Amino acid sequence: MDKKTIRREVKQAILALPADVRKAEAERVVEQLRRIIKERRAEVVALFSPLPDEINIFPLVASLDCRVALPRITASSPEESLMEFYDYSPEEICDGAFGIREPQGERAVRADEIDLMVVPGVAFTRSGERLGRGRGYYDRYLAREGFRAFCIGVCHSCQLRESLPTEAFDREMDMIIAGE
């Protein structure tokens, strides 16, 4: 199955999930993340501000006892847009690219500073393969020199697939947490 078809099917499956199921799955994912972050003693954790069809991990942002970074899309043009991570501060969150809440800090967190990164995706396999939205922001970030973070993909149970089409540049996640 091609990537475009999988993206369409998964979006429909997420939209079909009742709100209470989506909420319960997100709560299970957040609790597992909280436990893993504590167990791994991560000092710098990169999270994301979820889009409406992504697992809602935002309650985790303010509850961690470590440095939290969130992504911000920087762009001089659509072809040159990059994703950088900045320290989370509740006073400095604004709507940014694609309507996502983004941090407004001055200094980007270096890729080699991040100990653990929670990564969204359209679909995942249990073995760690990830299908993103197709813009390549995470693929480019995960390929940066010095990037060493433990990567956890998070998703609703309907986003798990047996297999996914992959490219040479795709990086597998170290762990997948689904809301099942």
pTM above 0.85, yes or no: yes
pLDDT of residue 45: 97
Q: What is the pLDDT of residues 3-58, one digit of tens each?
A: 999 999 999 999 999 999 999 999 999 999 999 999 999 999 999 989 888 999 98
User: And the tokens for 90?
Assistant: 């509740």
Q: What is the pLDDT of residues 110-166, one digit of tens each?
A: 999 999 999 999 999 999 999 988 888 898 899 999 999 999 999 999 999 999 988
- Among left, alpha and beta (phi > 0; psi -120 to 50; other), residue 136 is left
- Where in the chain does DSSP place strands (E)? 44-46, 67-74, 82-87, 93-95, 101-103, 108-109, 116-119, 123-125, 130-131, 150-155, 160-161, 175-178
Distance CA 180, CA 161 (A): 13
H/E element, 7: helix 3-16
